[in-house]
Amino acid sequence: MPKKSPKPRLRVPRGIELLHDPLWNKGTAFTERERDALGLRGLLPPHVLTIEEQEQRVLANLRREPNDLERYVQLISLQDRNETLFYHVVMNHVEEMMPIIYTPTVGQACQQFGLLFRQTRGLYVSAHDRGRVARLLRNWPRRDVRAVVVTDGERILGLGDLGAFGMGIPIGKLSLYTACAGVHPAQCMPVMLDVGTENEALLRDPLYTGLCQRRLRGKAYDALVDEFVTAVHSRWPKALIQFEDFANVNAFRLLARYRKKICTFNDDIQGTAAVTLAGLYSALRITRQALRDQTILFLGAGEAGVGIGELIVSAMQEEGVPTDAARRRCWFVDSHGLVVKGRDNLAEHKLPFAHDHPFCADFLDAIRALKPTAIIGVSAMPKTFTRPVVEAMAELNERPIIFALSNPTSKAECTAEEAYTWSKGRAIYASGSPFPPCTYEGKTFVPGQGNNAYIFPGVGLGVIACEARHVSDRMFAEAAKALAAQVLDSDLAMGRVYPSLQRIQEVSAGIAAAVAACAYRENLARAKKPKDILEFIRSKMWRPQYRSYV
């Protein structure tokens, strides 16, 4: 019987090179043998620490910082030095760390990205790189990229055009791919597609790190995006490309252009839709009603709102509601008032939800006219769910569903405390960024966080694990169901319509399994179907543990 060939030895960097590589570096955790074998003797303090001891030092430093922005800087610096330790800390303290590495702090970090810049992370593809993007991608040091998050910075959260400073979003999103779903950090690539900015303050800012020019538009813009997508697909044919924080003018058409050609999705359209639908499923367990009987009014008719509307329509169709009737259950108010057929110059993505109805000039009038059971805020306009709005919803519904989903916290349509107080404790509330628990007349409510972090990491893991060729709408519907199914009765009892973040890795594994199962049913998976999909998914999840190098 022939001998098995020995496994090839990993090429481990040595000395200073090893200490400067965040994927290999263990810092003070290198053992005595490793220090001798890898040329580290004298380059580290002599005391060898365990990862648990390093974690305690990280936490002590973080918790004495005066604010979350300083804590963000500390954590990103740690990520740049030692990714294993970074993820060990984040995964063990996810409820404490997620608001720092993602919303709401990441929005403030993006606004100050030039001042906070320490070390480059991610790939920058600029308008000046047209014609050489494929060559540029060869500079990326990792060979097996499976998850790409790309933004052009035009619509960062609810903050608008932040240009190249928007790079904080792909970095943060991919941190959550790993922290929430165990996607290996070496397989993740954040990308800033820098095509300029219309932000006058940035164009005047001497510390701005991006192209100081007006945004590329039209055919030149499309050509650069197409060159980028083609180059990524050519070098890494199994990679998932997630479009993030593109403006409405580009988001819908880019998704339509590429969704049947490559493995891609738009998180603002599809991820937001899935997490919102999951929240509605959970809320309806409290009200004991069916989705098909709901009337839903949106404040905001951009990519997030319309994406949610389309997925709700699909879910209502599953419950036997005809398409036209399901659409008439979803209504939108934009910056000009109620979206109705009689209005001129409606954007194309709003037309399917433009119904025959008298025009209402403002949101409160629309509530009184339509009598919705749920209102969903995706407007990035803070304080628009006013006291009269919440009180009107409470008059119409015993348990009004109020989702104020705009990010960051400063953009939320109302706070959790406002929703509970103005509804006299009857609101079923969720927000995009976290709000603390609040007490009304002796009862403590824990508001749900309807954040895409519940959805996109699990979807990404499922797609990567089964090597899906495309990402279908059905996958997001299944992801919503899988998320809602993991909300416990104890969560609902305290007003929370999403699972505890402490369970996020378990939740993401369940979502990934549902997505992969859907891919196999739809014949979209390239990997061989395993006997037990959930166990297969779990086997693919990376854990932040130090390996031995000798």
What three-state secondary structure class fits 266? Answer: strand
Which of 389, 340, 387, 354 has the alpha carbon at shortest distance from 368? 389
Pick the catalytic residue from 72, 87, 102, 420: 102
CA dist 113 and 245 (Å) reads: 16
- Amino acid sitting at position 452: N
**For the chain, first and last CA: distance in Å?**
30
Which of 487, 504, 421 has the alpha carbon at shortest distance from 283? 487
Where helices occur in 363-448 by DSSP H, the ranges are 363-370, 387-396, 416-422
Q: Which tokens belong to 352?
A: 């399917």
Q: Which tokens belong to 43?
A: 């380059």
CA dist 314 and 474 (Å) reads: 9
Pick the catalytic residue from 173, 350, 481, 540: 173
Q: Is the dihedral of CA 224, 230, 233, 236 positive or negative?
A: negative
> Residue with structure tokens 């199914």?
485
3-state secondary structure 94-160: HHHHHHHHCCCHHHHHHHCHHHHCCCCCCEEEEHHHCCCHHHHHCCCCCCCCCEEEEECCCCECCCE
Which residues lie across from 340 on neighbouring strands?
Answer: 355
173 is an active site residue: yes
Q: Which tokens belong to 170?
A: 């792909």
What is the radius of gyration, based on Cα positions, of the chain? 24
Check if the beta carbon of residue 122 is closer than 8 Å to that of residue 136.
no
> Residue with structure tokens 């538009």?
217
Beta strands in 290-378 (DSSP E): 296-299, 330-334, 337-338, 374-377
Q: Is 32 exposed, middle or buried (0-12, 13-18, 19+ CB in 10 A)?
A: exposed
Q: Which residues of 135-149 are buried (b: 16+ CB within 10 A; e: fewer)?
A: ebbeeeeeeebbbbb
Task: Kindly list the catalytic residues.
Answer: 102, 173
